[in-house]
Structure 1
Amino acid sequence: MNEVRKKIIIQELHYWKHSRMLPEQYCDYLLAMYSEGEDTQQQDGKSAGITARMMIPYLSVAIIILLTLFLNYFTQLPYRMQISLSIISILTLLWASFFFSKRFYHYHIPLIGAAFLFLLATVQAVEHFVPGQTIILYLCLLCHSGMWIYTGKRLSIASFSAAGFLGAGVIIYFIVKLYNIF
């Protein structure tokens, strides 16, 4: 095959791999085939640096979640400050999820963190404003389960849908048990 054609094909394969038009395994196989094994060593050196650089956004998401949990549950901040901190963290994680989806990162991680913090903030708010009203808490948790099911269906995230259905099932069980329906 002509060398110019090989270089064009290899450039296209790199583009397809970067834009995820083909699965990475296929691109690696085709790159190895067209470059006759020479290009794979060059790419391996580059991928080690990319992996370390890609960990920084995930680490920042973990720090946001852990910092929010620490400040809300292990310090005695005023209630308004705790809720404000939770809202800011949730919005930051939703923004990070949008940012990750544009950069081909796994946007599920900040989205799961935002859903988790939103759930905790809701439980905390219900316990603060209407203490002892378990039915209101259960209804809020059912709303969360519905949002998770909707998000899972809308974004094709099976873990969100599964968590929503399981959460709704558990909450309905406790509502039935609380009011002796059956």
Structure 2
Amino acid sequence: MPPLDEDKRKWVVREIESWRRAKMLPEQYCDFLLNLYLDDLTVRPKSATGEKLRQIGQASGKQWLYVIGIFSLICLVVLHFSAFPLALQIAVAVIGTGGLVGLGSRYRERLPARGLALLSAGMLLLPASGTAILYVQGWKDGPGLFVLLLASALVWILCGIAERFAVLHWLGWMGVIALYASVLSRQVPDPSWLEVQVFWVPAALLFAWLSWFSHIKFKATGAVLFATALILWFMPEVYSALFGVDRNWIQVELIVKIAFVGTLMFRLRRQWMEWVA
């Protein structure tokens, strides 16, 4: 192997370490490649954890002070959140959520794990801080909690689409479904079997059509909508089991629906697999 200059050698080593962290190559093969490019094996990180610890140990005093300052600020905000006026509470929630989402979007391409972690933290901060505001202001008994959860679910859906984060997008729709079921249980306390089917089956068909409609430009969105359609297809039975609606035939209904949708998916497998691929 021809000798490499020091800069190229360091670049190759960094690439191999990034492959190790991303699990693109087996651990043993990464070690083998590092043995080829490193003369002094003492400088080679033993693992991804070792690399992180080495980076922490080499951090400057300003970086340590920066991290300590941010952590102290977060602790102060959490401890004194209830003492803030309403406008400041809302500002903290909005700025915190927006900051985490912005950082997550920035790191999404270069450092996917860090980007997803920041996005997830931002999405969790929104309902958590909103719930805290409702309790501090004494609004927990009104429609505030429902509005907050609906807004959070819609934000999850929009961020999931914008960031191509399929799990977040799907969780947003699951939140909407849960809120829809809650509204139905309050507004229609004693529905018939037919009414329960009408509540959910048309929505399943709509989402299946939306999956086909959106897959041309947004493949990930098509897969999420298709998965949501399957959930909605079985929601009448889930709803009946949870709220005690004609439970005698739930098992039969599930078997019939599974057989029907399974047969349909088998016959149309070439079509729907294109939507979700």
TM-score range, shorter chain: 0.5 to 0.7
Consecutive unaligned residues of structure 1, counting only runs of 5 or more, are none
Q: Which residue number corresponds to residue 144 of structure 1?
A: 152
Matched, 1:70 2:79: yes
Identify the range of structure 1 (169-178 vs 7-16) with the bigger mean alpha-carbon deviation: 7-16
Paired residues of 1:71 and 1:82 also in contact (CA < 8 A): no
C-alpha distance 49-155 of structure 1, shift in aligned 2 (>3 A):
same
CA distance in structure 1 between the partners assigned to 2:171 and 2:125 by the alignment: 15
Q: Which residue number corresponds to residue 50 of structure 1?
A: 55
Q: Give the AA of the match of 2:182.
A: F
CA distance in structure 2 between the partners assigned to 1:176 and 1:158 by the alignment: 27
Q: Which residue number corresponds to residue 168 of structure 1?
A: 176
Deviation at 1:174, TM superposition (A): 0.8
Counterparts of 1:3-152 in structure 2, within 5 Å, are: 4=3, 10-17=9-16, 20=18, 22-24=19-21, 26=25, 28-35=30-37, 38-44=39-45, 47=51, 48-50=53-55, 67-72=76-81, 75-101=82-108, 104=111, 106-123=114-131, 124=133, 133-134=142-143, 137-152=145-160
Tell me how many residue pairs correspond in the alignment: 174
Q: Give the AA of the match of 2:99.
A: T
Paired residues of 1:148 and 1:160 also in contact (CA < 8 A): yes
- For 1:108-167, what per-residue CA distance to the aligned partner results, in whole angstroms no more than 9, with x for missing partners? 233223222322454546x96987543x65355234213213323443435423432332
C-alpha distance 60-40 of structure 1, shift in aligned 2 (>3 A):
farther
C-alpha distance 152-98 of structure 1, shift in aligned 2 (>3 A):
closer
CA distance in structure 1 between the partners assigned to 2:68 and 2:142 by the alignment: 38
CA distance in structure 2 between the partners assigned to 1:77 and 1:84 by the alignment: 10
C-alpha distance 62-102 of structure 1, shift in aligned 2 (>3 A):
farther
Consecutive unaligned residues of structure 2, counting only runs of 5 or more, are 192-277
TM-score of the two chains, using structure 1 as the length reference: 0.63
Q: Greater RCO between the two (CA within 8 Å, min separation 6)?
A: 1
Q: Give the AA of the match of 2:180.
A: I
Paired residues of 2:34 and 2:44 also in contact (CA < 8 A): no
Deviation at 1:177, TM superposition (A): 1.0
TM-score of the two chains, using structure 2 as the length reference: 0.46
CA distance in structure 2 between the partners assigned to 1:114 and 1:159 by the alignment: 14
- Give the structure with higher Rg (CA): 2
Q: Secondary structure at the match of 1:44?
A: coil
- For 1:29-52, what per-residue CA distance to the aligned partner results, in whole angstroms no more than 9, with x for missing partners? 4533523x7454312277232256
Identify the range of structure 1 (111-120 vs 99-108) with the bigger mean alpha-carbon deviation: 99-108
Q: Secondary structure at the match of 2:83?
A: coil
Q: Give the AA of the match of 1:82.
A: Q
Paired residues of 2:13 and 2:34 also in contact (CA < 8 A): no
Q: Secondary structure at the match of 1:106?
A: helix
| RMSD, matched Cα | 4.3
C-alpha distance 42-168 of structure 1, shift in aligned 2 (>3 A):
same
Q: Secondary structure at the match of 2:114?
A: coil
